[in-house]
Structure 1
């Protein structure tokens, strides 16, 4: 099949319809405003509630056209469990090229006519070409350890990454942004959190380089930085919503953190609009959004704790069997053992950990795989004690764990943004919400590719 049509699906995770309209009306997002005014505008409904309202669930729905009740992918890094074909599989089988750049919780069927780079929390699905491994591994370590003071990367790894990017689209704008970021951190000893937007710029450079090389008919581009800012800094944006108020020092640094994220993404939107030709449809989807997290205000807000080194935690818990541990988001992690028996024994040991005589671990075991994290969310005293009940041994809690600095203040909401900018730039605003299930068949319809039989929802166009 030959086609002169193409689609770029921008997956800007969890941006909020209400905040987008607010910032546009304030004149702070000129590129988003231009995109909006040239698009068919929808609000999507994830049609799920907690605990099934999670981006790693909703993005699988977007990509497959299946609800959670059918695709059954519940955890991050479980995309490999998806049995159905995703949009890129169907487009590839139709003879068209694809370029999947960072999409969350993906699976793909080989051979694929194009390239796939999974999200950076993925350990079981890797890029389908060795060409992308240097980028994928480097950024993966940065993302998985972004809250830790120590990122296990050597000087040689930094140099190899720089070498890779210099031959894969690294722009002068991104180089300048990196330099300015490092200078700002050096002068102020603050703003390390803004590094997430540098990763977005690097990924945009990489996307553009492969986009021009492959000329794909379908491509995706996923980023998560502003979703993270919303989770951490909503309290600073709207302190009047919360019982626990940020300090004056925190406000000086974080009051405009969320706006900063939207404005950084606005610059990327400008780059994408400049990348388009007259045959390309640009789609923005956020899958879901966020709202103020007020659930934990009666305990002083939701505090998150994460192991400094996962190996030290498992050693303290008397776990000697072989395992592979992978950080996920915030306080959560995966531990994979060689067999079910080892995983069962490890689960029992981890459940025997207590902090100040309180059970502390929140775990979910599936076969030889344990997914979990610290289940205590109130603020612990500096002298908190971690005890392994099975042996009676104790150690200062903060010798094994550290507290992620900010108090979580944003939580998920089922509404999402969906803007479809077709080459004719026709604008309309649809008042009724639409299902996430409609996105996959809509993309296939726009590419003149028949939707899969398992997709029950009709296209929006």
Structure 2
């Protein structure tokens, strides 16, 4: 059975890919495209256009109105379902590397949970040395900090699990560049992509899986924040003057980085079938929306007068963080104080109290301003907004779009870009292995002669 590797580059734009290919910027994407059946997935029927919703839809073939996932960390809603689980149950060895918001549980091959699910368990267990650091790197990306305690076992792990000299050199160059110019820290995720690929390649070869996924989010982040720097003519307001000049190249740099990774996939797995998917995409967004996160979580608990012995805080994604409590009384007290915190006459926080002992919180201020104003706390104390919160990165400039990429390498390529429902991806992957889709996958597989079990 020919191995299938599913490359998951979150939210890449089919339009930008075609534009960059035509300009000669993405030679490896061109090679993959010209050897594939090329489709555009359509997520316009989904109620909530977010990657943590669309990736579960892609993997399970279940529309979001049926799988019910609306937030990060809800992968258990589809536990026991999805392509990887169906293939495993059919006797195939499978591996999952970072696929977003899914809970496949232990598999015969390997599982690297997505970095936004810190409580998920990697398999084999030794992968935790890798995943703990990645979780800290991704969740603290907005603060430009790294968990030094997790770095030591991480470095020891990657040194013995596939790290290449080229990746080590890339990491060294990044550290040198950052020391010379801290404004280049945005490139860290490119280094993490290279390290992740090294580890992924080692896992695929060691476990000899028949199906594997590889997920990356780096360029989605660049698009969300730096599209304005990339194409300022598409926006009514220019980038903020404090933005680093290098950010004008961030989006194209992200696509070039993925092109290098595609080249590695093609070189390292020449006899395997590559599948490329994005689940959704992005488009320019002419807005002045931006996001703020607490500068110091301990100080935030202090000014809100929340007992740190009964309250813990953990970042989730971008401006969001999770408050967890030892008892319901503490949770109720926190909820009251969150509601009573104002900036001007508007709420300071937005929050979801989905579980009795946990509240997901984010700053409700979401518009760019040189000075936001004064925060009034429930006890009447007033403090400057800037003493509690810092703006993340820059003004938002990319928003989600329902079109996504779905390319399948095959002997007789077709590049027409036919549109298919996002729910058709999962049954199509199963058909590559001669596995009949389960009853919960209601959309038909894409039928075309060139793709068949081999």
Q: Scaled by the length of structure 1, what TM-score is found?
A: 0.92
**1:7 maps to which residue?**
4
State whether residues 236 and 251 of structure 1, in contact with CA within 8 Å, keep that contact through their aligned partners in structure 2.
no
Q: Is 2:445 the counterpart of 1:459?
A: yes
**2:363 maps to which residue?**
374
**2:451 maps to which residue?**
none
Alignment counterpart, residue 129 of structure 2, candidates 125, 134, 137: 134
The SS at the match of 1:378 is coil
**1:87 maps to which residue?**
83
Distance in 1 (CA, whole Å) between partners of 2:182 and 2:60 is: 44
Distance in 1 (CA, whole Å) between partners of 2:317 and 2:255 is: 21
Deviations 1:209-248 (A, max 9, x none): 0011011011000000000000011101111111111267
Deviations 1:165-216 (A, max 9, x none): 1100000110111111122222233211011100000100000000110110
Q: Is 2:415 the counterpart of 1:429?
A: yes
Alignment counterpart, residue 194 of structure 1, candidates 187, 199, 212: 187
The SS at the match of 1:459 is coil
Q: Which runs of 5+ in 2 are unaligned?
A: 448-454
**2:436 maps to which residue?**
450
Distance in 1 (CA, whole Å) between partners of 2:171 and 2:435 is: 41
State whether residues 80 and 124 of structure 1, in contact with CA within 8 Å, keep that contact through their aligned partners in structure 2.
no
Listed as ranges, the matches of 1:202-221 within 5 Å are: 202-221=195-214
The SS at the match of 1:376 is coil
Q: Is 2:24 the counterpart of 1:31?
A: no
Give RMSD over aligned pairs: 1.9
**1:324 Cα deviation (Å)?**
3.8
State whether residues 98 and 112 of structure 2, in contact with CA within 8 Å, keep that contact through their aligned partners in structure 1.
yes
Alignment counterpart, residue 284 of structure 1, candidates 271, 276, 289: 276
**1:416 Cα deviation (Å)?**
0.3
Q: Is 2:375 the counterpart of 1:386?
A: yes
Deviations 1:300-324 (A, max 9, x none): x112110123333233223337344
Distance in 2 (CA, whole Å) between partners of 1:188 and 1:333 is: 29
Q: How many equivalent residue pairs?
A: 445
Listed as ranges, the matches of 1:259-278 within 5 Å are: 259-278=252-271
Q: Is 2:17 the counterpart of 1:20?
A: yes
Listed as ranges, the matches of 1:288-367 within 5 Å are: 288-294=280-286, 296=287, 301-320=288-307, 322-367=310-355
**1:45 maps to which residue?**
42
Q: Which runs of 5+ in 1 are unaligned?
A: none
Alignment counterpart, residue 153 of structure 1, candidates 148, 151, 155: 148
| Residues 1:189 and 1:309: Cα distance change in structure 2 (over 3 Å) | closer
Tell me whether 439-448 or 330-339 shows the greater mean CA deviation: 330-339
Deviations 1:119-173 (A, max 9, x none): 111133221331110100011111111121433423xx43322111110000011
The SS at the match of 2:338 is helix
| Residues 1:362 and 1:203: Cα distance change in structure 2 (over 3 Å) | same
The SS at the match of 2:95 is strand
Distance in 1 (CA, whole Å) between partners of 2:328 and 2:359 is: 10
**1:420 maps to which residue?**
408
Tell me whether 352-361 or 58-67 shows the greater mean CA deviation: 352-361
The SS at the match of 2:143 is coil
| Residues 1:245 and 1:447: Cα distance change in structure 2 (over 3 Å) | same
| Residues 1:158 and 1:355: Cα distance change in structure 2 (over 3 Å) | same
**2:66 maps to which residue?**
70
Tell me whether 326-335 or 57-66 shows the greater mean CA deviation: 326-335
**2:236 maps to which residue?**
243
Q: Scaled by the length of structure 2, what TM-score is found?
A: 0.93
